Amino acid sequence: MLFLILFLLSISGLFFIRKILPERQIVLIDADGKPAYILPLSEDRTVSVQGPEGTTVVEIRNNMIRVVDSPCPNKLCVKRGWITSGAVVCLPNKVAVTISGNDGNNRGIDAITR
């Protein structure tokens, strides 16, 4: 019985800590393979990013991101809508918007393509 009580207290402590100390999330915006912005996800703002095809407009609001406008022909990045995790990529304009759970300083290479 004592073991069960201690186990339940441990589990409830994990949920309590996650609520009090949430992971700091940031938005990483790359243009043509180079970092353009590193912004906190908690700060509402709109930024314009210059890519090879023109300007892509990214909006951060209520801990979500979306691409508002982009010069690409099919606008798949705009149609993606609001996201709370993952990434939105505009391939024609070479702009990538990613939500990350760290401060962006340890961004290693995942893969190289040619």
Q: How far apart are CA 69 and CA 61, in angstroms?
A: 15
pLDDT tens for each residue of the chain, 114 residues long:
777 787 777 777 777 766 665 567 899 999 988 999 999 988 999 999 999 999 999 999 999 999 999 999 999 999 999 998 899 999 999 999 999 875 544 444 444 444
* Cα 72 from Cα 18, distance rounded (Å): 39
pLDDT of residue 17: 67
Cβ neighbour number for residue 113 with a 10 Å cutoff: 3
**pTM of the complete model:** 0.69
What pLDDT is attached to residue 22? 57
Which class is 23-100 in CATH?
A: mainly beta
Report the C-alpha gap between 58 and 94 in whole angstroms.
14
